[in-house]
Chain A
């Protein structure tokens, strides 16, 4: 299946699966312009699992979608987004379609809404391959194989059934199989477990990791669940109000968060182990970039903020294992 990718690409070896550099996104123009993302820089290496964590409205889904060139209507993007060597923001419609057919795919949040309810599951699974010209027979063969790999019993029968005949968890497995059918180098998982119940969540996450590891696919795992991201990702980016505020290896983030927001997020999630303590919600409500204060976006919710935080957006600095956009990370984790 890999052989129908355009030739000549392998010459530029060891590119990252995804490389986002200073991505900015603005809706509209002039006085009414609404900024959505600012200065987002992140990287997903080949075979690497990278988490992108934030509250709703932080811009994590926008960032993931930008990797496929899916920019909201009327929005203007700045910076650079590269998916295995292809400049996504500069790509024309054709190049974008090729990119989506061969290099990058996305697993969406709600499988029920993401798979056309009136078409058969087999139709969904083969659609990506058929779009790039794989013959129907070969595509169906590949789909059956993948269904088996994602743990669906009786793949041949499942191909003929309709989405409503599957449970949410099973349907998410179908979507994962569909996303992997084109053997992408980059898998974007946009809150793939949020719509599922807890026991199913663990299974789906395990499956995603397993499939990703076996294929050496780079994965950007978008979630609001910091604990989950820290547990399964090699590196995690924490997003707040359209900006990346911290980047750290998964484990380090868990033990020594460097940004006050990261710490607040960790404290806000209930722990299954240790003493029972009251859950501390993050004070205030999440901000979008457009309504965030000057300087550090988090300063109006931050217990450590002082006048200096209002002066400018803090630059990323290294503190222990993190790259953090905070002036005083040593107060967060000494």
Chain B
């Protein structure tokens, strides 16, 4: 591929990502205007404010202007990482979120690693072995897929924290080792359903590649069993799996809301839950925006990786 084609392709991807974010931000901003009654009442949620403060809020959210101008000034502030002020904490929303992003980020990464690692191993072993291993994996995948994070959280808490006392029930800990120890149960709770989906999808992907003719051809050439699996099955299933993994990992962000609340973790997810219940609209908007940006970022990164994994995926159709 030429440098120009690569640049054009990258530009196209970036444009797509930006458009998605813009569209989502319009919806997030518009939600405020869709609230029945005076948006200011929704924003202030019954708190007693002086007329000056109300005017400030009105101005801050562009409610004294039309929708387009209001959106533009709100989005302009957001671009400068100014997401407004929390009505509840009276601090900047950006500060609130960035202070909690560390815990949530680590939690998402931890559970992503767990889900991807165990999901792919179970998928591969069940696809290659077949028979009893395959059936056992199918049952395991069905059960875990059907287990929502809050159920997993309750079970894990009662067994490993309350019952066996191996892991702490609340808090995020200090220092990396302690933090990982604290985050283990929440990460497992979040990873459970993702693991199940991945074990299933991965099993199907590996089984499909195993049936391919080039796999039989490799065997006909006396290539060893492990090498066939590594070179012709895993390598080929990587591209379809990566797309699914990207979506699932991005989806983990949503699960933090429930799991962080259940385990008493002070992260972005629990911030979202408490802000919703306190009708802290600026925070909800801010978290929503961050979630969209992260989701788009993860998916764009997986898209960018695809041509390097599967040479048939050409860069912007100009790859040849």
Contacts and interface: CB of A to CB of B under 8 A. Distances in A.
29 contacts: A65-B220, A70-B216, A70-B219, A96-B222, A97-B222, A97-B224, A98-B222, A100-B219, A101-B222, A105-B220, A106-B217, A106-B220, A108-B213, A108-B217, A113-B213, A113-B214, A114-B213, A114-B214, A114-B217, A116-B218, A117-B214, A118-B236, A118-B311, A118-B312, A119-B231, A128-B222, A131-B222, A131-B223, A165-B320
A162 B312 CA distance: 8
Nearest to B227: A131
A5 to B, nearest CB: 13
A115 B212 CA distance: 10
Given A108-B213, A115-B217, A119-B235, A164 B312 contact: yes
B221 interface: yes
Range class of the B interface residue count: 20 to 34
B60 interface: no
A132 to B, nearest CB: 7
Given A118-B236, A118-B310, A118-B312, A113 B220 contact: no
Interface of B: 212-214, 216-224, 227, 231-232, 235-236, 239, 309-312, 320
Given A108-B213, A116-B231, A116-B232, A127 B312 contact: no
Given A118-B235, A118-B309, A164-B311, A132 B214 contact: no
Given A70-B220, A100-B222, A110 B309 contact: no
Q: Choose among B213, B309, B310 the residue with the greatest number of A CB atoms under 10 Å from its CB.
A: B213
Contact of A127 (B223, B235, B236, B320): B223
A99 interface: yes
Q: Choose among B212, B222, B231, B239 the residue with the greatest number of A CB atoms under 10 Å from its CB.
A: B222
Given A70-B219, A114-B214, A131-B224, 9 more contacts: A68-B220, A114-B213, A114-B217, A115-B217, A116-B218, A118-B310, A119-B232, A127-B218, A164-B311
Nearest to B311: A162
A274 to B, nearest CB: 39
Nearest to A108: B217
Range class of the A interface residue count: 20 to 34
Nearest to B218: A127
Given A117-B312, A118-B309, A119-B235, A127 B221 contact: yes
A236 to B, nearest CB: 24
A236 B213 CA distance: 27
Nearest to A106: B220
Interface in A36-60: none
Contacts of A99: 222
Contact of A110 (B213, B239, B310): B213
Interface in A86-115: 96-102, 105-106, 108, 110, 113-115
Contacts of A182: 221
A102 B216 CA distance: 17
Contacts of B231: 116, 119, 127
Contacts of B227: 131
A125 B309 CA distance: 20
Contacts of A105: 220-221
Nearest to B236: A118
Contact of A116 (B214, B219, B224): B214
A188 to B, nearest CB: 9
Contacts of A116: 214, 218, 231-232, 235-236
B221 A131 contact: yes
A169 B40 CA distance: 71
A293 to B, nearest CB: 33
Q: Which 6 A-B pairs have the closest CB atoms?
A: A100-B222, A101-B222, A113-B213, A97-B222, A162-B311, A116-B214
Contacts of B214: 113-117
A176 to B, nearest CB: 13
A162 B311 CA distance: 7
Nearest to B130: A73
Contacts of A68: 220
Contacts of A108: 213, 217
